[in-house]
Amino acid sequence: MKNGSTTRVALIYGGRSGEHPVSCMTAGSVMASIDRDRYEIVPIGIRRDGTWVSGTTDSELLGTGTAEVGPGEPITVSYGTGEFYEGGKSLEIDVAFPLLHGPFGEDGTIQGLFEMAGVKYVGSGVFSSAAVMDKHFTKIILQAAGLPVGPWVLVTRSGWENSREELTDQIAQLRMPLFVKPTRAGSSLGISRIESLDQLDEAIREAQKHDPKVIVEQGLAGREVECAVLGGRGTERARASTVGEIILNNPTSGFYDFESKYVETDGLVLQIPAEIPEDDMERLRTMAVEAFEAVDCEGMARVDFFFDGGDITINEINTIPGFTPYSMYPLLWQKSGMTYAELIDELLTLALERQTGLR
């Protein structure tokens, strides 16, 4: 505690990705729920152009879902000393809590900044953040660890220009429907579901609007279920929540896309706990922790699965999952006995006990 008995938390939100408003909404939720007797919030906004500025403490404004980081006093970081400065004055930060989604937020870039600056922070480190943000490398790591993943084909920009016929032949071996995704975008941005190869070129162009690197995945049968993982204290193993299920009853959307998550949510049901046999529930929880450890995650992660009559396939991992009180990750922990405020406290406690650098 650099300034009195409370811990000063740099709540960092906004960012350069398409999930900027979602990040602002999450920051508003954390501000409204954090224990103010223990923590003092220092809001730092990142504008869409990447500029760091002093943020707002107006949680209602941030929670509208349309908020943007606007003008503010420039914020700078001193490398090595772990100091944040506003107008030449130290903000005396104890720990950073990044609530950023997508590129430049959960992909290892800001985590590298924190490491270089010597700032303690919530969440996974540089490698795991970068690896998990890239759906292609996530699959490679999980597969190497003996964990089940679905079939896929990687399409780079140069590959699609120079080896389109060969890549199309590889993709044709996958079973329809196919999901064409930006490899390094979050919140299901730019994802298309296709039923024939005639739709492939258009779907790849749409994905490339968000990322030049695209992954084409075979559609998997089964229910979409998710498990929240929380790092362990000290040398203790990570902990897994109960398992929840995403039930999408919206006829206008064939899958859990950005619109279903944040815009047209009327047909979305989060069933917690999922109606799954207890033995299978334990298998999912165990596999969630194994995936968390395989990619060297820290702090928090949500592991998403397809569950089909006992068959389990890992879909993806998210190191900065949706974190409003109505998002799956906090809801899973609430159903597992940990309130939203307690979850925030636990994540900050884990961050404060961890050193930067090799560990």
Q: Is 222 annotated as a binding residue?
A: yes
Cis bond before residue 273 (omega within 30° of 0): yes
Check if 206 is active-site.
Answer: no
Supply the DSSP symbol for 181.
E
84 is known to lie in a ligand binding site: no
CB 289 within 8 A of CB 238: yes
From the list 187, 192, 253, 260, the catalytic residue is 187
Q: How far is CA 358 from the centre of its chain?
A: 23
Catalytic residue (choose from 17, 19, 59, 298) = 19
| Residue 219 labeled ligand binder | yes
Q: Please check if 221 is assigned to a binding site.
A: yes
The CA distance from 346 to 33, in Å, is 13
**Cα 116 from Cα 40, distance rounded (Å):** 24
Handedness of CA 21, 40, 111, 349 (dihedral sign): negative
Q: Is 318 annotated as a binding residue?
A: yes
The question of whether 260 is a catalytic residue gets the answer no
| Omega within 30 of 0 (cis) for the link into 43 | no
Kindly name the residue from 29, 59, 327, 346 that is annotated as catalytic: 327
Q: Does 179 appear as a known binding residue? A: yes
Annotation-wise, does 249 bind a ligand? no
User: What values do phi and psi take at 258, rounded to 5?
Assistant: -60, -45
CB proximity list for 165: less than 8 A, separation 6 or greater: none
Residue 304 marked ligand-binding: yes
Q: What is the identity of the amino acid at 311?
A: D
Active site residue 327: yes
332 is in an annotated binding site: no
Q: Name residues whose C-beta falls within 8 Å of residue 110's C-beta, 6 or more positions apart in sequence.
A: 12, 98, 100, 104
Task: Check whether 334 is labelled as a binding-site residue.
Answer: no
The answer on whether 218 is annotated among ligand-binding residues is yes
Do 254 and 179 meet the contact criterion of CB atoms below 8 Å apart? no
* Distance set, CA 154 to CA 40, 171, 275 (Å): 45, 9, 34
346 appears as a binding residue in the annotation: no
Judge whether 245 is annotated as a binding position.
no
Interatomic CA distance for residues 101 and 284, integer angstroms: 25
- Identity of the amino acid at 11: L
3-state secondary structure of 354: coil
Query: Rounded CA gap, 22 and 29, in Å?
Result: 11
Binding residues for ATP: 135, 179-181, 187-188, 217-224, 315-316
Catalytic residues, by residue number, are: 19, 187, 327
Binding residues for Mg(2+): 304, 316, 318
